[in-house]
Chain A
Amino acid sequence: MPPVLETRGLTVRFGGHVAVDAVSCAFHAGTLTAIVGPNGAGKTTYFNLMSGQIPATSGDTLLEGEDISGLGAAGRAQRGIGRAFQITNLFPNLTVAENVRLAVQARGRGAASLFSLWSRHRDWIERADHYLALVNLSGVRDTLAAALPHGDKRKLEVAIMMALEPKVFMFDEPTAGMSVDEVPVILDLIRTLKADGSKTILLVEHKMDVVRSLADRIVVLHNGKLVADGDPATVIASPVVQEAYLGQAPKREAAHG
């Protein structure tokens, strides 16, 4: 069976700067892979390349063995690549429920229907409410997304991706900027996803305790290059990681985002 998601020599250059440098990596179903690395290592850029937000300079991205390099973000989302963004990326002047409902609608039949009524698609509304309940946002379903506190925005971001019911879940620092008591909701959600055993989950995360508790595998990026890849214990112990990442840990823990 081919990996669910795979990149081959994926590279992007911004002018003279190589942000992601020939990264080849395969992600399999039932595995949670944490992608770690210091700030500016190219983790989010690597995500953006895989989910199609920015085009690659060279290299290929494959979904279930099929080359999707030519597809944009919309095409990749339709094929099952779900993305939760690090910098909160919502529909600010729509309600919380509508934010999630739009994600459900994107996967539903008649998503572009011109003359049916959106409010008659009860199943979309019900499924949106289901995902809102998963992240504890049912109480604010009719609030405008812009009016939510930061932590709730992060939860909504995750609910939107869940509602897409993708094959690949890409979490980009899902708990960044969240208060301590809010973090478990998101982590439990990721654990539940993982327990399902069939999902492909990618996680960019700075907090090493989170990575240790969730990851089946760690991939380390440094200066755009893949420098280590393996099971958590081995990777964390490897000298190259100690040098490139963990050696500077205290500084980075302070600076989120």
Chain B
Amino acid sequence: MLTSILSGDFPRSRVLTAILLAILVGLALAPFLFPGAAAINTAAKICIFIVLVASYDLLLGYTGIVSFAHTMFFGIGGYGVGLALYTFGASWGVIGVGILAALLVGVTLAFLIGLLSLRVRAIFFAMITLAVASAFLILATQFSEFTGGEDGRSFSVPQVLRPGYRLLEQPLFGTVVNGRILAYYLVFVAAVVLFLVALRVVNSPFGRVLQAIRENDMRAEALGYRVVYYRTVANCLAAGMAVLAGAMSAIWLRYTGPDTTLSFAIMLDILLMVVIGGMGTLYGAVIGATLFIVAQNYLQKLMGLASAATEGLPLIPKLVHPDRWLLLLGILFVLSVYFFPTGIVGRLRGKSG
């Protein structure tokens, strides 16, 4: 049973299992464990990024494809659902149509990019994805009548997902179960399902071929695997998953815009999350995304506390001043990449990972 759910891919380390369980329980009970809008926002963002980072790892870690267009697919999902809701009003049918349209556009684009450029050398593919993603970003900001330009679009979601909606008359464990919490659970369940699907894909015969291609594409070809076919399908799958993550993000934020979905800052974040968590293992996506987003949201507060606590000492209060949080984050990344070149998961699994 558990083997089927996890596709036979167990964490294979006690510490890793404990961390993953803690993250799962934390996310599953987030609205009840961590009250407040900021906490639930962080939890939702973690869920969305787990899907996004896992789909990117499918490309980078499993297939060895370097793509810079992943945020473009994330954006297509966000804009697909967002613009559908903005234009046609809030209903589940519109969300469905938005997601389907976004999937169609995203996967078609991924297929075309793959077909045109996955036969050439990796560096050319990376450059082409960069070019296409830049073009898409410019397009999204320039077509402002349709997309809302730099400002993006705010829209409403179906009634049951709105903050004003009450599922239960009485609070549950001291928390009012409103539409926001339902929206959170929609995002959470979608993330769990998509993650498990991705885990199944990487542990399928297909997924094994992807790893072979990453290791030695010429040898994979000599065994009879059509490398271009496998790379293209992997590209389409990853794009499709990123589209769905974008749709989740739009439904959660009730907003879509270039900064939340398309920006290169997000692309960089995704890359860092994959590398920190551990390339070529989907559990790395869970840990990388959680660690990064928690740090992004709480490091500043923590530093504020540290700065206040060390007041009076020379230099230290200035170094840990909340304004230096990016500096500290940067140092943490350098250290983690230096000490855990195989990522946190690779480190925890030891040599066998």
List the interface of chain A (C-beta within 8 A of B): 51, 53, 72-75, 77-78, 83, 85, 89-94, 98, 101-103, 105-108, 110-121, 160, 164
8 additional A-B residue pairs with CB within 8 Å, beyond A77-B222, A103-B223: A51-B222, A89-B218, A92-B216, A106-B223, A111-B225, A113-B205, A115-B200, A117-B4
Kindly list chain B residues whose C-beta atoms are within 8 Å of the C-beta of A119: 8, 203
On whether A105 and B205 interact (CB within 8 A), knowing A74-B227, A91-B216, A117-B8, the answer reads: yes
- Does B215 belong to the interface (CB within 8 Å)? yes
Bound-state Cα–Cα, A211 to B204, Å: 43
Bound-state Cα–Cα, A219 to B212, Å: 35
Bound-state Cα–Cα, A115 to B220, Å: 20
| Chain B positions 191 through 215: 1 when the CB is less than 8 Å from some CB of chain A, otherwise 0 | 0000000001101111111011001
Contact A91 B205 (CB under 8 A): no
Kindly list the 7 A-B residue pairs having the minimum CB-CB distance in the complex, ordered from nearest.
A77-B224, A91-B215, A78-B224, A106-B223, A106-B224, A73-B221, A74-B226
Kindly list chain A residues whose C-beta atoms are within 8 Å of the C-beta of B226: 72, 74-75
In the assembled complex, the CB of A114 is this many whole angstroms from the nearest CB of chain B, namely 5
Taking a contact as CB atoms closer than 8 A, the residue among B205, B221, B227 that contacts A110 in the complex is B205
In the assembled complex, the CB of B8 is this many whole angstroms from the nearest CB of chain A, namely 5
Bound-state Cα–Cα, A90 to B215, Å: 8
Contact A112 B206 (CB under 8 A): yes
Contact B212 A94 (CB under 8 A): yes
On whether A93 and B205 interact (CB within 8 A), knowing A83-B222, A112-B230, the answer reads: no
Contact B211 A117 (CB under 8 A): no
- Does B7 belong to the interface (CB within 8 Å)? yes
Kindly list chain A residues whose C-beta atoms are within 8 Å of the C-beta of B7: 117
- Does B318 belong to the interface (CB within 8 Å)? no
Describe B's contact surface by its main secondary structure.
helix
Category for how many chain B residues contact A: 20 to 34
- Does B219 belong to the interface (CB within 8 Å)? yes
| Chain B positions 128 through 153: 1 when the CB is less than 8 Å from some CB of chain A, otherwise 0 | 00000000000000000000000000
Taking a contact as CB atoms closer than 8 A, the residue among B4, B207, B216, B225 that contacts A74 in the complex is B225
In the assembled complex, the CB of B215 is this many whole angstroms from the nearest CB of chain A, namely 4
Can you list 19 residue pairs at the A/B interface with Cβ under 8 Å?
Answer: A72-B226, A73-B218, A73-B221, A74-B221, A74-B224, A74-B227, A77-B222, A77-B223, A89-B222, A90-B216, A92-B216, A94-B211, A105-B208, A105-B209, A112-B230, A116-B204, A117-B7, A117-B203, A118-B203
Kindly list chain A residues whose C-beta atoms are within 8 Å of the C-beta of B211: 91, 94
Kindly list chain A residues whose C-beta atoms are within 8 Å of the C-beta of B225: 74, 106, 111
Kindly list chain B residues whose C-beta atoms are within 8 Å of the C-beta of A90: 216, 219
Bound-state Cα–Cα, A110 to B211, Å: 17
Bound-state Cα–Cα, A74 to B227, Å: 8
On whether A118 and B204 interact (CB within 8 A), knowing A89-B216, A92-B216, the answer reads: yes
In the assembled complex, the CB of A58 is this many whole angstroms from the nearest CB of chain B, namely 23
Bound-state Cα–Cα, A231 to B7, Å: 55
In the assembled complex, the CB of B255 is this many whole angstroms from the nearest CB of chain A, namely 34
Q: Which residue of A lies closest to B213 (CB)?
A: A91
Contact B209 A53 (CB under 8 A): no
Q: Which residue of A lies closest to B229 (CB)?
A: A112
Bound-state Cα–Cα, A85 to B219, Å: 9
Taking a contact as CB atoms closer than 8 A, the residue among A73, A75, A94, A118 that contacts B205 in the complex is A118
Bound-state Cα–Cα, A113 to B80, Å: 30
In the assembled complex, the CB of A205 is this many whole angstroms from the nearest CB of chain B, namely 20
On whether A107 and B205 interact (CB within 8 A), knowing A92-B215, A94-B215, A112-B230, the answer reads: no
Kindly list chain A residues whose C-beta atoms are within 8 Å of the C-beta of B215: 91-94
